[in-house]
Amino acid sequence: MTATANHVQIAPSVLAADFGRLAQQVRDADAAGADLIHVDVMDGRFVPNISFGEVVVDAIRSATDLPLNLHLMVHEPDRLLPGLMKSAADQVLVHAEACAHLHRTVGYVKEQGSQVGVAINPATPIAAVEEVLPDLDIVLVMTVNPGFGGQSFIPSALAKLRRLHRIIQEKGYHAKLEVDGGVKADATARDSVAAGAEILVAGTAIFNREQSVAEAMAALRASVDGLAPGKT
Ligand code: DX5
Ligand code: ZN
């Protein structure tokens, strides 16, 4: 699917996929019109959970030609970046809270020719990314506390999204806003887009027992149909 200025991108998060058939689930998401595949790397330190590392990222990379939206929930990601970026170098997102020298880390990712994003937790203010905002391709506003799928969307993140959207517009920056956590085919998706989100991550809303991946993707797409990011 071609990205246009007003196109909302959907990034299924494979964290919720059936790992016994991971490649097939990725192919299902691709066939159902996913724009990106969201890949959650967790280290058991920055977040309480461990997910997977390079070997699994490689398997996801082999299963699709879609860009990978790599979300690193790891403390001090610098030491892991060279290895992970060999597997997935389309879009690399690090957490502001996890980087002692965020400016350097952002610069490193850009130097490798990848798109770079910075993620902020629900309790982290916009100020944590403001100084690097001109350099960013993506700001990921976490709408849950990271570490687990299937949590509830935190509504106070919407005000933060709106403020960031305004700053980006006023300054003429190019960063896209992304939301991650508790996004479903309901007000959580619609309100996020209205607040400025252009990329919606969805884990359990896409990979679940109630619907096929195609049905779930269609429902999420329909829930934001006709909406333009940042326009109410
Ligand atoms: C949570 C991860 C998310 C997760 C979202 O820490 O970063 O990407 O997969 O899952 P849902 O959409 O189920 O909240
Ligand atoms: Zn994520």
For residue 103, what are the contacts with CB-CB under 8 A and spacing of at least 6? 131, 132
Question: Could you give the CA distance from residue 216 to residue 32 in angstroms, rounded to a whole number?
Answer: 9
Counting atoms of ligand 1 from 1, which one is nearest the CA of 49? 6
Q: What is the pTM of this model?
A: 0.97
For residue 85, what are the contacts with CB-CB under 8 A and spacing of at least 6? 92, 109, 112, 114
Confidence of residue 2 (pLDDT cuts 50, 70, 90): very low
Q: What is the pLDDT of residues 39-53, one digit of tens each?
A: 999 999 999 999 999
Q: How far is CA 114 from the centre of its chain?
A: 15
- For the chain, the average pLDDT equals 96
Question: Could you give the CA distance from residue 223 to residue 3 in angstroms, rounded to a whole number?
Answer: 18
Rg (CA), the chain: 16
Q: What is the pLDDT of residues 186-229, one digit of tens each?
A: 999 999 999 999 999 999 999 999 999 999 999 999 999 999 99
Q: Say yes or no to pLDDT of 4 above 50.
A: no
Cβ < 6 A, ligand 1 pocket: 13, 15-16, 38, 40, 71, 144, 146-151, 180-183, 201-205
Q: What is the pLDDT of residues 125-182, one digit of tens each?
A: 999 999 999 999 999 999 999 999 999 999 999 999 999 999 999 999 999 999 999 9
| Residue carrying the six token digits 């359990």 | 204
Q: H or E stretch including 177?
A: strand 176-180
